Structures are given as C-alpha cells and as structure tokens.
C-alpha cells in the first residue's frame, strides 16, 4: 500500500503524481492520502486539490482513502498515528528547498520518516514536473552492502512496467590527496572492483524487478567527489529520476548542507528520490 504525506504545496502536487504511479503498480492498488492541517494553506483549497489527486488515481483503477487531520503541533507523529507499519507499506513524501539555505531534508518531517524504519520511505525532489510522476529513465547509484539497496530495487520494481533504461553507477571515493596522486594502474583496479560489485547488484536487480539485462547499463568511476560524479552521470544518461539510498551514516549525522545527498538534491538536472527501507 502507498501512503502520500501531502503538505498541500505545489511541490506536494507534483509529488502526488509519483504516489499515483507507484500505487498503480503496487499489488494493493490502494493510495492513502494524508494531510495534517497546520494552517499553512486554506482547508477548502486543500480539499479541492486532494479531490483532483483522487480523480487521477481512480482513473488508473487505484482505490483512494483520504484523511485530513488536525495538527497536534508535531506533524511527524500525526502522520505516524495513521500509517500502518509493514514491509508492504511505502510512504511518499517531499524534499523541497527551504528559505535560508537550510537544505532539502535536514530537520524536516521527511528526514524523520526516513529515520523511522517501520516502512519504506521515498522523499522526492521534483525538478521536472512535466513528467507527471512517471519517469522512464533511471540512475541507480550503488555502494556498500547490496542488501541496503533492496528498498530502492523494490521502489524501482513499481516503475518497472514503464522503465526504458536503468543505469547502475558505482563510484570509488578517495580522499582528495589520494585522488590527486592516483596512478593509472590503481585506478584500473578500483574500476575493475566496481564492475565486479555491480555485476552482483545487476543480478539482484533483475531478480527483484523482472527487468531484462538489455534495459540495464553499468558505469564505474573513481573520484574524490561522489555527488559530482552522480550529477554528471545523470546528465550524460539523460536520467529522469535518481534513486539515492539514505544510509545509516547519513541519517546518523543529519542531512546537513555540504552532505553529498543534499548536494545531489540541490544540483541534479532531474528528479531525485531519497529512499530507505523499513524493518517491518
């Protein structure tokens, strides 16, 4: 089941398109729209917007539940009270720029949802609203324990019927000094190690999504700047959505300015979904 944590903003309207797309390819074919009435927008406007989202979902045979609830002063806990925990639950929320250069995730309700670990979460930054939440070209950066990528693969599986191309990317990240003194032989060894790693990721992706190998590309790079390489790859491959895992290390330290996730959210030429799986 898909939940949409809808804030009533224009960005929220764009993100709603993703929620409808994911629900249309989810086994439950059910979308729950949750809005916590904080007073930021008039309730009549919110209800009219939700009705439009509901009509769009019904048009693709998705059942819709709507809950507009008063705010207790803590939107995160108001949402948690209405979201069912479980491995078959995914929550779609937003990641949008805020005044004062405070980043896209740091200190937000979306960041707290990503930390929660009781269900899958995708916090989405929309750059191309014209896609209507239905991208066809994906960039999937991969690093670390492949098991941590499972939630991203499950998310991608919900898009799979309409996927044209997925590019897997592994960046071997070195400290700046080490990168400046990197020799050709060591660079080649690091890239070869990256290729071997991505072979396993590709096999798992095919098994979990049903995508054919002909729709999957594989790239490796060696760099001192992971965010820069990710943005370059998205541009080169004309990606429409980047799927980024929110790692334990990232969330433990908070999503701060200068963090690679924040840099990709800020500078990517396409939509970005920051995801994390749940423990059920």
Residue 36's CATH number: 3.40.50.620
**pTM score, two decimals?**
0.93
One domain, residues 221 and 201:
yes
Partners of 138 in beta bridges: 166, 241
Residue 257: the pLDDT is 47
- 167: closest CA among 100, 238, 226, 66? 238
Whether residue 83 is found in the same domain as residue 164:
no
Predicted confidence (pLDDT) at residue 58 exceeds the cutoff of 90: yes
pLDDT reported for residue 233: 98
Q: Among residues 69, 64, 58, 44, which one has the least CA distance to residue 3?
A: 64
pLDDT of residue 63: 98
- Residue-wise pLDDT tens digits, 191-250: 999 999 999 999 999 999 999 999 999 999 999 899 999 999 999 999 999 999 987 555
- Cβ–Cβ < 8 Å for 2, 22: yes
SS3 246: coil
- The stretch 46-63 carries a mean pLDDT of 98
Tokens at 193, concatenated: 């190690």
Per the CB < 8 A criterion, the answer to whether 93 and 121 are in contact is yes
- 37 and 148 co-located in one domain: no
Q: For Cα atoms 244, 113, 198, give the angle at the middle one, nearest 5 degrees.
A: 20
Give yes or no for residue 256 having a pLDDT over 70: no
Residues 174-192: tens digit of each pLDDT: 888 888 878 888 899 999 9
Name the helix (H) or strand (E) containing 207. Answer: helix 184-209
């Amino acid at each position: 089941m898909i939940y949409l944590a809808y804030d009533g903003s224009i960005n929220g309207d764009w993100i709603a398109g993703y929620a409808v797309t994911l629900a249309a390819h989810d086994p439950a074919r059910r979308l729950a729209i949750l809005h916590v009435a904080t007073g930021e927008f008039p309730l009549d406007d919110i209800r009219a917007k939700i009705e439009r989202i509901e009509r769009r979902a019904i048009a693709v045979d998705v059942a819709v539940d709507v809950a507009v609830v008063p705010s207790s002063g803590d939107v995160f806990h108001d949402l948690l009270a209405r979201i069912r925990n479980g491995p078959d639950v995914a929550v779609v929320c937003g990641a949008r720029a805020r005044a004062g250069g405070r980043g896209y995730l740091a200190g937000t309700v979306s960041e707290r949802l990503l930390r929660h670990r009781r269900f899958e979460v995708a916090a989405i930054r929309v750059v191309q609203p014209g896609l209507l939440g239905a991208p066809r070209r994906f960039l999937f950066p991969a690093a670390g324990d492949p098991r941590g990528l499972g939630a991203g693969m499950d998310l991608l599986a919900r898009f799979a019927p309409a996927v044209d191309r997925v590019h897997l990317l592994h960046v071997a990240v070195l400290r700046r000094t080490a990168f400046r003194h990197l020799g050709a032989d060591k660079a080649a060894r690091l890239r070869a190690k990256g290729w071997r790693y991505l072979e396993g990721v590709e096999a798992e992706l095919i098994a979990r999504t049903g995508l054919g190998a002909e729709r999957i590309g594989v790239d490796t790079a060696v760099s001192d700047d992971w965010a820069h390489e990710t943005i370059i790859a998205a541009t080169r491959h004309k990606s429409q959505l980047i799927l980024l895992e929110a790692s334990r290390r990232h969330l433990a330290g908070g999503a701060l300015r200068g963090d690679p996730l924040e840099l990709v959210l800020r500078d990517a030429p396409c939509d970005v979904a920051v995801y994390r799986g749940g423990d059920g």
